[in-house]
């Protein structure tokens, strides 16, 4: 019992606590030559308490890393300086400079980031230009990743700031097709894109790799009715379903995928298709409610799975089960050759 208490006390001692901005600045100076991990937390948030336990374990594994917790609401000047808008948030410092960030209670990601920074060490000054070139190449790739790219805080499903939420609402309202990147997931991109685009805030919207602007610009474009001419539109559902049903010579719309069927009927039809040796692709209707409901009307077939050959509906499990299907399985094989 005494040994367990001593171990707990040692773990607690390994994670220091900062209570003022002055103390934090002094800590940055003292730990300049090592990696410093700061947990911005709140005692009322259970996920923060759990992540403090994770920090304690990491402190035991990495004795040369400084782990610190800072109550975000108790030291607002530090929280505001580093744009802490939610807890838990983790900041990583090297040479007194912030080098990385993690938002949210993601223990595996925190562990991975600590290990990566420990193994990478400090970059020599001569490598700075090379790193900048690599980052610019990556940012160029990301801004061109889709015809319309939104860099935002959070995701379209879960925006993590009001401006990002408004931007998503405008794009959806105008039926604009876009992909997104959560800047909270990558501190290097979050900071680098500000310089790359010469635009200091988020969200940022790009079309064909070119910056259009932030929320204010998008609102102006919406008001002048220019937005619809600049951004690509989401295809109408019927057009999308035509493309999907013709994506492969043999297309199966099912619950789950080839590796894991999520209902008995889908599992049975997979077994039949696999027994024929036919090449086919699958679409998981559980991941797209619009397709799931729309395909029922499009094909006039109310249930799943649904099998299509060259864009034409063959039928569901009952149709595929009949012996006639096996009679033309060789023809299907020829279609996919």
Q: Does position 47 have pLDDT exceeding 70, yes or no?
A: yes
Q: Does position 8 have pLDDT exceeding 60, yes or no?
A: no
Q: Does position 322 have pLDDT exceeding 90, yes or no?
A: no
Q: Does position 92 have pLDDT exceeding 50, yes or no?
A: yes
pLDDT band at 324 (very low <50, low <70, confident <90, very high): very low
Q: Does position 37 have pLDDT exceeding 70, yes or no?
A: yes
Can you tell me the distance from the alpha carbon of 156 to that of 180, in angstroms, rounded to the nearest whole number?
A: 7
pLDDT band at 10 (very low <50, low <70, confident <90, very high): very low
pLDDT digits (tens, 9 = 90+) for 191-240: 899 989 999 899 999 998 999 999 999 999 999 999 988 988 766 788 88
Q: Write down the pLDDT at residue 212.
A: 95
Can you tell me the distance from the alpha carbon of 259 to that of 249, in angstroms, rounded to the nearest whole number?
A: 20
Q: Write down the pLDDT at residue 328.
A: 53
Q: Does position 54 have pLDDT exceeding 70, yes or no?
A: yes
Query: What does each C-alpha distance from 124 to 30, 93, 186, 307 come to in angstroms?
Result: 20, 16, 22, 58
Q: Does position 116 have pLDDT exceeding 50, yes or no?
A: yes
Q: Write down the pLDDT at residue 137.
A: 87
pLDDT band at 327 (very low <50, low <70, confident <90, very high): low
**Percentage of residues in the chain having pLDDT higher than 90:** 47
* Residue 78, C-beta contacts closer than 8 angstroms, at least 6 positions apart: 21, 24, 70, 84
| DSSP string of 202-229, one letter each residue | S-EEEETTEEEE-HHHHHHHHHTT-HHH
Can you tell me the distance from the alpha carbon of 174 to that of 335, in angstroms, rounded to the nearest whole number?
A: 40
Q: Does position 337 have pLDDT exceeding 70, yes or no?
A: no
Domains of the chain from N-terminus onward: 16-119 (3.40.30.10), 145-230 (3.40.30.10), 238-335 (3.40.30.10)
Q: Give me the chain's average pLDDT, please.
A: 85
Q: Write down the pLDDT at residue 284.
A: 94
Pairing of strands 179-182, 306-309: unpaired
Q: Write down the pLDDT at residue 334.
A: 55
Q: Does position 316 have pLDDT exceeding 50, yes or no?
A: yes
From the number of C-beta atoms within 10 Å of its C-beta (0-12, 13-18, 19+), residue 286 rates as middle
- Between 289 and 68, where is the model more confident? 68
**Percentage of residues in the chain having pLDDT higher than 70:** 87
pLDDT digits (tens, 9 = 90+) for 263-297: 999 999 999 888 888 889 999 999 888 899 999 98
């Amino acid at each position: 019992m005494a040994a367990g208490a001593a171990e707990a006390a040692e773990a607690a001692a390994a994670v220091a606590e900062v209570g003022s901005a002055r103390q934090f600045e002094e800590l940055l100076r003292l730990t300049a030559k090592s990696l410093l991990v700061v947990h911005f937390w709140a005692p009322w948030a259970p996920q923060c308490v759990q992540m403090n336990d994770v920090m304690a374990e990491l402190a035991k594994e990495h004795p040369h890393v400084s782990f610190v917790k800072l109550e975000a609401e108790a030291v607002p000047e530090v929280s505001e300086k580093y744009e802490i808008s939610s807890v838990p948030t983790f900041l990583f410092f090297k040479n007194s400079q912030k080098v990385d960030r993690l938002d949210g209670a993601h223990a595996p990601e925190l562990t991975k980031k600590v290990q990566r920074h420990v193994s990478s060490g400090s970059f020599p000054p001569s490598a700075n230009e090379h790193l900048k070139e690599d980052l610019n190449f990556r940012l160029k790739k990301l801004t061109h990743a889709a015809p319309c790219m939104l860099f935002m805080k959070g995701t379209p499903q879960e925006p993590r700031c009001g401006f990002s939420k408004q931007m998503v609402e405008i794009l959806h309202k105008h039926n604009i097709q876009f992909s997104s990147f959560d800047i909270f997931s990558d501190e290097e991109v979050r900071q680098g894109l500000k310089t790359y685009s010469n635009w200091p805030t988020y969200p940022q919207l790009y079309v064909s790799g070119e910056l259009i602007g932030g929320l204010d610009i998008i609102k102006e474009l919406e008001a002048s009715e220019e937005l619809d001419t600049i951004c690509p539109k989401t295809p109408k559902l019927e057009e999308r379903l035509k493309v999907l049903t013709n994506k492969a010579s043999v297309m199966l719309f099912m619950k789950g995928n080839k590796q894991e069927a999520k209902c008995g009927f889908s599992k049975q039809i997979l077994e039949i298709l696999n027994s024929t040796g036919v090449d086919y692709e699958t679409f998981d209707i559980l991941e797209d409610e619009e397709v799931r409901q729309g395909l029922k009307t499009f094909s006039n077939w109310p249930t799943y799975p649904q099998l299509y050959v060259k864009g034409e509906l063959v039928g569901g499990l009952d149709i595929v089960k009949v012996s006639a299907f096996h009679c033309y399985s060789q023809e299907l094989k020829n279609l996919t050759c």
